[in-house]
Structure 1
Amino acid sequence: MDNTRPLYNQDIRSFLLWVPNWIGDVVLTLPVIQSLRRAYPMAQISVVAKSPSDELLLGHPAINTVLTLPSGLENGFWQKVKFARNLKKFNFDVGVLFPNSFGSAFFLSLTGVKFRLGYDTDARGFLLTHPVATTSHLKKSQYRVEYYFKILSSLKLGAPDASFAKLTSQEGDATARKILLDMGLDEDEEFLALHPGTSKVERGWHVERFEILCQKLIEDGIRVVLVGTEKESELLNRIRKSGKPDMIKIIPPVNLRVLAKLLRKSRLFIGNDSGMMHLAAMVGVPILGIFGPGNSKTSGPYIEMKKQEVVTKNFSCSPCKQKFFKECK
């Protein structure tokens, strides 16, 4: 590759994309990745992602390879260094950093990728060949899809895709029909998906209010299917026990690709500001999103306005860092 030519005029054959940690943020990078694929249809696009986001990306048609970043207590700094250095053998042309952290830029630099794109944040500009300027205001106020798309400005792409590509099933994936039947539901039976959990406790609507909501929905003859992670099983079972067993069901543990298929079957998704909300938006389900200290203007569902409704209380101090006892007075 010729360093004297602008990046958009280079013969780029491979990309290494380093995506964020949270599922919701990963979903919001997909319209950008799809736009990159449209501009470079023959390029090899590889993505570095943590589990369980890697499950979702494995089924995305714009992505060739998913590389799972070591995580968890058993995988510390040196394991990640080894992982990054092992990627040198692929000789990637362009690396893209969606996270703002210094650590992600450091690990990307170890991969030997020739051109490295990302925001000039966290004192990491010297690790990037194409740093992108931003401000603290934009970091807090710009919608995430637009924020991520700007990272690729040196490639002069058109615009992020307006919708999500359909995921493809992988070998071993259970069908939505089988799981619904195992849950006691017919394949075409109408239901509402509800997610009472969230990545941070402070973001969540109180569980008692979800219980009351479920009871009211059941009174109107609406069947409710609860969505959540294995860590949220206690919360889900508490809500299930608050209503009629035949009217409240829980989706069993499945990977994110299969969960997306199940969500597509629902008539409506109600839930907190979370990755599950973004997963539902990704498959086109109408969204009723409950936002507490978060900001729907920056991280609301990426779906047409007529299919979303955001419920929030705009206090003068909103949004906040969700450290209530330190911030609130």
Structure 2
Amino acid sequence: MRVLIVCFDNVGDMVFSSLLPASIEKEFPGSEIDYLCKPYAETVAYLIPDISKVYSIKPYWSKKKQDKGSFFGFFSLFMKLRKEKYDVVLNVSKSWKPTFFCQLFGIRPIIGFDHKINKFILSKSVRSFSKSIPVMESIASLLNPIGIRPTKTSYKLNIESENKFDSAYVVLHPFAGDAKRCAPLSLWMNLAISLKDKVKVVWFGTPEELSILRQELSGRVHDFDFSDLLSNNQFLEAMKLLPNATLFIGHDSGPMHLAASFDTPVLGLFLPGEPKRTFPQGGGRSKVIYKEKPALLSCDEVLEEALIIIGDSMR
């Protein structure tokens, strides 16, 4: 079977979609499964087992200037994809544009979520995401129209990990796409200071995010390690820090799901987020702390849960 999986969403959504290739390959051994995604998510796509090829392009409808591609480029790529003769397209994205282009170029059938315009132009649709249903169950439902019902709804990525340290370390990711859902940096700094005498602390984030953090840390910056410096600003190298971590602590965001996909113990902060839908769904240990707003979270609460997991992991 030749399959094209379309995912123009964020890194976390790429991790969620990793269920699809494994399930297809199990049911139809020898399938050729390709991905279409944003360039910055391409690195993650290559970590998904059972993938043949990855196509990446900036979506022309993006509202962010740095992420916005051209309509002509999108058109040209779909002319190329038409020649691949796919048996089915799975559109994980909520956007209707990829569905429209697939229909325009005769790349069908197209299965996706019945979200707004999308449901009117899909060949077959399934129920869209719900706040009360685990996201992996929703992703799995995309396979129902082609007769596949996964028995295991969890995500898994493969990476060659690197252990850069001789001792245990905790990875902290104090950022998220929406700053309103983030605990204040002061809480994260207090957490890091409380942990650093027990385990090594590594701050994880983009170079831009970590640059801001280093300014906030000021004189304390030498007490910690930073993923951008350890990886020479290479996203793949930064991800290699996650599998060997004793614990990952972060908000509900892409890096949290990356860590969980490597079976790393995860402590997820949902402030508020959607804990029933996007809780960590990898194969390792996880714990979620939920608050209606960031101001209700205390450093002591995070530290208490972190020390329990760290203690258990180091036994």
Alignment match, 2:84: 90
Residue 288 of structure 1 deviates from its aligned partner by 0.8
Which of these residues, 122, 132, 138, is aligned with residue 128 of structure 1?
122
Which of these residues, 116, 127, 151, is aligned with residue 142 of structure 2?
151
Query: Unaligned stretches of 5+ in structure 1?
Result: 1-12, 170-174, 181-185, 316-329
* Aligned equivalents of 1:73, 1:224: Cα separation in 2: 32
1:84 touches 1:107 (CA, 8 Å); kept in 2? yes
Alignment match, 2:35: 47
1:1-329 matches, within 5 Å, as 13-71=1-59, 72=66, 75-132=69-126, 134=127, 139-159=130-150, 161-168=152-159, 176-177=162-163, 180=164, 186=165, 188-218=166-196, 220-238=197-215, 240-241=217-218, 243=220, 245=222, 247-252=223-228, 253-303=232-282, 307-314=285-292
* Aligned equivalents of 1:217, 1:149: Cα separation in 2: 38
Q: Which amino acid aligns with 1:226?
A: W
The alignment's C-alpha RMSD in Å is: 2.3
Report the 3-state secondary structure (helix = DSSP H, G, I; strand = E; otherwise coil) of the residue aligned with 1:109: helix
* Aligned equivalents of 2:68, 2:79: Cα separation in 1: 19
Query: Unaligned stretches of 5+ in structure 2?
Result: 60-65, 294-315
1:228 touches 1:236 (CA, 8 Å); kept in 2? no
Residue 85 of structure 1 deviates from its aligned partner by 2.5
* Aligned equivalents of 1:267, 1:92: Cα separation in 2: 42
Moved more, 277-286 or 67-76: 67-76
Going from structure 1 to structure 2, the CA distance change for 1:198 and 1:109 (only over 3 Å counts) comes to same
Report the 3-state secondary structure (helix = DSSP H, G, I; strand = E; otherwise coil) of the residue aligned with 2:171: strand
Q: Which amino acid aligns with 1:68?
A: S
* Aligned equivalents of 1:281, 1:141: Cα separation in 2: 20
1:24 touches 1:276 (CA, 8 Å); kept in 2? yes
Residue 244 of structure 1 deviates from its aligned partner by 6.0
Question: What are the superposed Cα offsets for residues 235-255 of structure 1, whole Å, 9 maximum, x if unpaired?
Answer: 33135536361x310012554
Residue 128 of structure 1 deviates from its aligned partner by 1.8
2:136 touches 2:154 (CA, 8 Å); kept in 1? no
* Aligned equivalents of 1:276, 1:168: Cα separation in 2: 14
2:33 touches 2:51 (CA, 8 Å); kept in 1? yes
Residue 78 of structure 1 deviates from its aligned partner by 3.2
Report the 3-state secondary structure (helix = DSSP H, G, I; strand = E; otherwise coil) of the residue aligned with 1:21: coil
Q: Which amino acid aligns with 1:142?
A: I
Going from structure 1 to structure 2, the CA distance change for 1:221 and 1:239 (only over 3 Å counts) comes to farther
Count of residues in Structure 1 that have an aligned counterpart in Structure 2: 284
* Aligned equivalents of 2:266, 2:154: Cα separation in 1: 15
* Aligned equivalents of 1:191, 1:239: Cα separation in 2: 22
Report the 3-state secondary structure (helix = DSSP H, G, I; strand = E; otherwise coil) of the residue aligned with 1:262: coil
- Length-normalised TM-score, structure 1: 0.79
Going from structure 1 to structure 2, the CA distance change for 1:210 and 1:164 (only over 3 Å counts) comes to same
* Aligned equivalents of 2:116, 2:75: Cα separation in 1: 19
1:271 touches 1:289 (CA, 8 Å); kept in 2? yes
After superposing on structure 2, the runs of 4+ consecutive aligned residues of structure 1 that deviate more than 6 Å are: none
Residue 36 of structure 1 deviates from its aligned partner by 1.6
Question: What are the superposed Cα offsets for residues 259-316 of structure 1, whole Å, 9 maximum, x if unpaired?
Answer: 3321111100011111010000011111111111311111111135x8111111248x
1:85 touches 1:110 (CA, 8 Å); kept in 2? no
* Aligned equivalents of 2:78, 2:108: Cα separation in 1: 14
1:32 touches 1:148 (CA, 8 Å); kept in 2? yes
* Aligned equivalents of 1:234, 1:244: Cα separation in 2: 11
* Aligned equivalents of 2:270, 2:90: Cα separation in 1: 30
Q: Which amino acid aligns with 1:140?
A: K
* Aligned equivalents of 1:282, 1:224: Cα separation in 2: 21
